[in-house]
């Protein structure tokens, strides 16, 4: 029994090399909150599987990138533990990575191996923390949030954001409503104005 436990512990290769800015995601809600609370920080979401040889071979290099970039947050999603969540997020190939950055939301999405690690390196350099992203963190796409909320296998709640009406349209709707705060303007006042030629005064163009 003890031997089996020892072997099981040794198989957890993704826990062998970690850094303070690397952690495993516990749930879909955890992933969504982590992205929203990351502020302007670049977040790399690493989808892996314990039985994926490519994931295991690539992990030491990902850990090196994490060590060299302490301002970047690396979130690991275990496919075997979160298959239903991965399905809702349309992750069907491993290893797979998604990069998120502040108000921009998802900025990159790709699969790579040791042979194509340049993809990862280039994405990390392109979206590095020294480039400012203004506004609150966007996190997951709304379509992804809706898919997670609709997934009955997950305990995930999402309150849809209210639809924003453009200010000009809102004013027009308010003015046109019964008992609106504004009276219609006189016809003359709504005519285009042109500059008079004699004394520079503004006169209605209809005169």
Q: Spot the catalytic one: 52, 86, 112, 132.
A: 52
Contact status, residue 10 vs residue 4, Cβ threshold 8 Å: no
Residue keyed to tokens 């970039």: 69
112 flagged as catalytic: no
Tell me whether residue 55 is one of the annotated catalytic residues: yes
Q: Considering 55, 86, 112, 132, which one is annotated as catalytic?
A: 55
Separation between Cα atoms, residue 79 and residue 61, nearest integer Å: 19
The whole-angstrom distance between residue 206's C-alpha and the CA centroid of its chain comes to: 54
Q: Pick from 65, 41, 73, 76: which is nearest to 122 by CA?
A: 65
Query: DSSP string spanning 74-103?
Result: EEEEETTT-HHHHHHTT--SSSEEEEEEGG
Tokens of 14: 């993704």
Catalytically active residues are 52, 55
């Amino acid at each position: 029994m003890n031997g089996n436990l020892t072997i099981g512990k040794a198989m957890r290769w993704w826990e062998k090399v970690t850094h303070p800015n690397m952690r495993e995601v516990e749930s879909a809600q955890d992933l969504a909150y982590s992205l929203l609370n990351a502020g302007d920080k670049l977040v790399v979401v690493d989808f892996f599987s314990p039985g994926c040889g490519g994931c295991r071979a690539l992990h030491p290099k990902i850990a090196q990138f994490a060590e060299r970039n302490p301002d970047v947050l690396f979130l690991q999603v275990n496919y075997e533990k979160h298959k239903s969540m991965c399905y809702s997020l349309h992750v069907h190939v491993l290893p797979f990575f998604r990069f998120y950055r502040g108000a921009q939301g998802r900025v990159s999405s790709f699969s790579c191996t040791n042979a194509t690690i340049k993809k990862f390196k280039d994405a990390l350099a392109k979206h590095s923390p020294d480039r400012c992203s203004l506004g609150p963190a966007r996190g997951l796409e709304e379509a992804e949030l809706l898919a997670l909320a609709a997934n009955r296998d997950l305990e995930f709640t999402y309150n849809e954001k209210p639809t924003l009406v453009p200010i000009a349209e809102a004013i027009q709707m308010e003015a046109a409503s019964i008992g609106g705060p504004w009276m219609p303007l006189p016809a003359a006042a709504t005519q285009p104005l042109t500059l008079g030629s004699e004394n520079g005064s503004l006169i209605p163009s209809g005169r």
